[in-house]
A and B are shown apart, each in its own frame.
Chain A
Amino acid sequence: KQEVTQIPAALSVPEGENLVLNCSFTDSAIYNLQWFRQDPGKGLTSLLLIQSSQREQTSGRLNASLDKSSGRSTLYIAASQPGDSATYLCAVPRVKNNDMRFGAGTRLTVKP
């Protein structure tokens, strides 16, 4: 059964700092991996999708990497801002086009 783990559970950094969030998964036979942002009491906003054949994806200040063989993904946030404060979730589909298995998330606080 696919298990997704995220560390740290919470992270607090000063504004402007670069940071890395970690995601690990137990079954490396994944189709893709998706990173989401969740604001308190809100829905899930998709940030980046990395397909299994890719090593990384970039969107603005965000860069996600994927190492399937080791079962790891990282989300790098450059020059963090207070508006980046949220919970960041990673998720992998169990099979193609099917249910996502989520990590518990990393709660990020960026202090002004």
Chain B
Amino acid sequence: EPEVTQTPSHQVTQMGQEVILRCVPISNHLYFYWYRQILGQKVEFLVSFYNNEISEKSEIFDDQFSVERPDGSNFTLKIRSTKLEDSAMYFCASSGSLLQFFGPGTRLTVL
């Protein structure tokens, strides 16, 4: 069964460093998303991506964040200069129609 994959599963970084979180969506899906979940809190929407551009972004998704689909398979989330409050689980999702399929997440720890 096709699934969304994410790498790495856990990333530890120093405050101020850049991180890139990677996702491989399901191959025939057209819509891609990033969400995050701070420990003990709700899953929050960050950004959606369709037709090689951002279709929607939340107030969380400021200039420190960027997304890219560098080739036909990968979908990345970059945080330019990480802050302590960026520590969270980051989920990638993709959809072909109504159902969103989520990846297993990347746990980002900023020290």
How many residue pairs at the A-B interface have CB separations less than 8 Å?
A: 57
Give bound CA distance, A100 to B95, whole Å: 12
- Given the complex, which residues of B lie within 8 Å of A100, measured CB to CB? 33, 35, 43, 45, 93, 100
Per the CB 8 Å criterion, the residue count for chain A at the interface is 26
- Given the complex, which residues of A lie within 8 Å of B41, measured CB to CB? 104
Known: A43-B103, A43-B104, A43-B105. A99 touches B98 (CB 8 A): no
- Given the complex, which residues of B lie within 8 Å of A96, measured CB to CB? 98
A99:B99 contact, CB within 8 angstroms: no
Dominant SS among interface residues on chain B: strand
Q: Is A46 an interface residue (CB 8 A)?
A: yes
Give bound CA distance, A91 to B93, whole Å: 13
B55:A44 contact, CB within 8 angstroms: no
Which of A44, A46, A89, A101 counts the most chain B CB atoms within 10 A? A44
Q: What are the interface flags for A2-46 relative to B under an 8 Å C-beta threshold, 1 for contact and 0 otherwise?
A: 000000000000000000000000000001101010000111111
